Copies of this chain bind each other. A is one copy, B any other.
Amino acid sequence: MSTRARVDPATEAWSLALEIVFSEKPPRVPAVAAEFDLSPMALKLLYKLEPGAAEPMSALAGTLFCDASNVTGIVDRLEARELIERRDDPRDRRVKLIALTDDGVVVRERIRERLHEPPEQIAALSSDDKRTLRDVLRRAVDCC
């Protein structure tokens, strides 16, 4: 007997997406991080931090879902490479606001381009399927 009919479509869809992600060799995120000589966490920080924004380190710890003490080290290294900078928050002198430098904006954009390159299985889809996939995922992201 086949089990396929029992699996709900969302679960199967996600399993297939995972299969695509895990079939990438080398694995994308650490590979791109290595290209830019960054740790995966530093990569994620640059990925998430928006140009023009200035976020307290505690907020970054939230988005990276890691310890605040960890953020200190990541920010140290990124600041040493002048990709981000610490600014004082005039409203609370305990807070350091983290913002991208001009170099950081450029590097962030290159990182995003590399990460956003679709894997071959997606790139090989028909034009119709690509558009369909995009539209469904737009609804997924916009909706929540």
Contacts and interface: CB of A to CB of B under 8 A. Distances in A.
Interface of A: 8-22, 25-27, 44, 47-48, 62-63, 65, 112, 115-127, 129-134, 136-141, 143-144
Given A13-B133, A65-B26, A130-B9, A143 B116 contact: no
7 contacts: A10-B118, A10-B133, A11-B118, A12-B138, A21-B21, A26-B65, A125-B139
Given A15-B116, A16-B134, A48-B22, A10 B125 contact: yes
Nearest to A30: B65
A14 B119 contact: yes
Given A22-B48, A140-B124, A133 B15 contact: no
Q: Number of copies of this chain in the oligomer?
A: 2
Given A9-B127, A18-B115, A65-B27, A121 B143 contact: yes
Nearest to A17: B137
Contacts of A63: 25
Contacts of A9: 127, 130-131, 133-134
A48 B25 CA distance: 13
Contacts of A15: 112, 116
A138 B121 CA distance: 10
